[in-house]
């Protein structure tokens, strides 16, 4: 059988620990036998980041801007322990943070839904995708612990020296205050990424804040979304048969719990932090969450939502058998290959991505799975496979297709 050709390279970002091991297995077993894989390879493994003073991360983000689509393996974000473990020159920043800042993107996280791994919410039939704004608010806030009686004010000084001043509170005793900010440009990028991704995946987009209480701050988010929607996306949404809808965050929470899923829920930074953990744990497993960074210009970087699965890696190094779930990492590849196929009009490549995803789902639904899923499945007598055994089972399912 002829291998599928690729016209444009995919940006490949290799990573660390157990996911680096899976990365190679996935390529060897599930990709290279079927595709003439055309990638521009960047090694974001911690050793190479350290050797290049993290230049390799910057280069990989620039390559993503050049080609448009990247696939990334999970990477270590160094902490004090990693400084000694890897003998690092510096505590390098999170690669995801660096790439996100360079692409100015929004991260969309969605669970992979299979029969046998049932969501805790009975009505959920389709995935719920969370889009989290990744800049500002409480994450860039300034806080003061108020020691006692006194007046707290919010002051803005314009370049020409004129001021806007608002009383926060006239304290009669001790307390706390907090100053938050966001910038319109970032909110606009967030909105564009959300509208674009909704069109891309043909899903409705929900956006929710607390604009009834926060009449200027949250209301600005609501207004920016609406202005951009009206000016640039309304027609395309109508054509695609999808809707954009804004509601209050508490109303959104209530609706989500009664919904069937199958939509994108855009959240402010804090709401997204909290809600994405709720959605992923209610859907079953962190190992079944995919993640894609979408820039407002339409660059895409696909990855798994989980980390490098360090504990399994140490077992692997000791020669012990591991049962690490590769599905989210495989879906990072299929997401990227499908997108590459769409952009290049390479139907074969997109169709291969569909087949590989279906093979993963069939494998699990036929009762063959890794340990993390076996612990939570509603299927009876699942077969627990090793990391490699699971990938081989997907391979034989793929060859049937």
HEC-encoded secondary structure of 224-261: HHHHHHHHHHHHHHHHHCCCEEEEEHHHHHHHHHHCCC
CB 56 within 8 A of CB 49: yes
Query: At 9, phi and psi to the nearest 5?
Result: -70, 150
| Pair of tokens at residue 33 | 């036998």
Smaller CB separation from ligand NAP, 208 or 379: 379
Q: Where are the alpha helices (DSSP H) in 160-242?
A: 184-201, 217-228, 234-240
Q: CA-to-CA distance for 177 and 168, rounded, in angstroms? A: 8
Instruction: Tell the smallest beta-carbon distance from residue 274 to Mg ion (Å).
Output: 7
Residue 273 binding result from ligand NAP, Mg ion, none, given CB thresholds of 5 to 8 Å by partner type: Mg ion
306 touches ligand NAP (CB under 6 A): yes
Residue 74 binding result from ligand NAP, Mg ion, none, given CB thresholds of 5 to 8 Å by partner type: ligand NAP
Site for Mg ion in 219-248 (CB under 5 A): none
Listed residue (331, 289, 264) closest to 117, CA to CA: 289
Smaller CB separation from ligand NAP, 237 or 283: 283
Residue of 286, 361, 369, 379 that binds ligand NAP (CB under 6 A) = 286
Beta bridge partners of 341: none
Instruction: Kindly indicate which of the ranges 5-13, 184-192, 213-221, 266-274 contains the residues binding Mg ion, using the contact rule CB under 5 A.
Output: 266-274
Residue of 62, 214, 310, 386 that binds ligand NAP (CB under 6 A) = 310
Instruction: Tell the smallest beta-carbon distance from residue 337 to ligand NAP (Å).
Output: 19
Question: How many residues are there in the chain?
Answer: 401
Residue of 24, 66, 311, 347 that binds ligand NAP (CB under 6 A) = 311
77 touches Mg ion (CB under 5 A): no
Q: By three-state DSSP, how is residue 17 classified?
A: helix
Smaller CB separation from ligand NAP, 79 or 162: 79
Q: CA of 367: how far to CAs of 121, 125, 375, in Å?
A: 22, 20, 12
Residue of 273, 344, 348, 354 that binds Mg ion (CB under 5 A) = 273
276 touches ligand NAP (CB under 6 A): no
Footprint of ligand NAP on this chain (CB under 6 A)? 74-77, 96, 286-287, 303, 306-311, 324-325, 372
Footprint of Mg ion on this chain (CB under 5 A)? 273
């Amino acid at each position: 059988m002829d291998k599928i050709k690729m016209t444009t390279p995919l940006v490949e970002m290799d990573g660390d620990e157990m996911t680096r091991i899976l990365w190679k297995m996935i390529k060897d077993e599930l990709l290279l036998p079927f595709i003439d894989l055309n990638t521009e390879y960047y090694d974001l493994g911690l050793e190479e980041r350290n050797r290049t003073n993290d230049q390799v991360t910057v280069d990989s983000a620039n390559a993503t801007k050049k080609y448009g689509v990247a696939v990334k393996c999970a990477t270590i974000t160094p902490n004090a322990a990693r400084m000694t473990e890897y003998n690092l020159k510096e505590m390098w920043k999170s690669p995801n943070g660096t790439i996100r800042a360079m692409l100015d993107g929004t991260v969309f996280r969605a669970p992979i839904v299979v029969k046998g791994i049932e969501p805790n919410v009975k009505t959920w039939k389709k995935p719920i995708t969370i889009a989290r704004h990744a800049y500002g608010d409480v994450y860039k806030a300034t806080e003061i612990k108020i020691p006692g009686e006194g007046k707290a004010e919010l002051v803005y000084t314009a370049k020409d020296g004129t001021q806007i001043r608002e009383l926060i509170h006239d304290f009669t005793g001790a307390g706390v205050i907090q100053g938050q900010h966001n910038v319109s440009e970032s909110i606009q990028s967030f909105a564009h990424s959300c509208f674009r991704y909704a069109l891309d995946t043909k899903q409705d987009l929900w956006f929710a804040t607390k604009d009834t209480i926060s009449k200027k701050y949250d209301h600005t988010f609501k207004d920016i979304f609406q202005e951009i929607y009206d000016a640039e996306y309304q027609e395309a949404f109508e054509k695609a048969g999808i809707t954009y809808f804004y509601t209050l965050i508490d109303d959104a929470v209530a609706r989500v719990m009664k919904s069937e899923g199958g939509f994108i829920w855009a959240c402010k930074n804090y709401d997204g932090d909290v809600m994405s953990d709720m959605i992923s744990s209610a859907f079953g497993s962190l190992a079944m969450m995919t993640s894609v960074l979408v820039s407002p210009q339409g660059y895409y970087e696909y990855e798994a939502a989980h980390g490098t699965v360090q504990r399994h890696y140490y077992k692997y190094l000791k020669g012990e058998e591991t049962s690490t779930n590769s599905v989210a990492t495989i879906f990072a590849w299929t997401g990227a290959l499908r997108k590459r196929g769409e952009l290049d009009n390479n139907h074969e490549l997109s169709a291969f991505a569909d087949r590989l995803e279906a093979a993963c789902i069939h494998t699990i639904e036929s009762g063959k799975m890794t340990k993390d899923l076996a612990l939570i499945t509603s299927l009876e007598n699942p077969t627990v496979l090793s990391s490699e055994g699971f990938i081989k089972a997907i391979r034989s399912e793929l060859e049937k297709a």
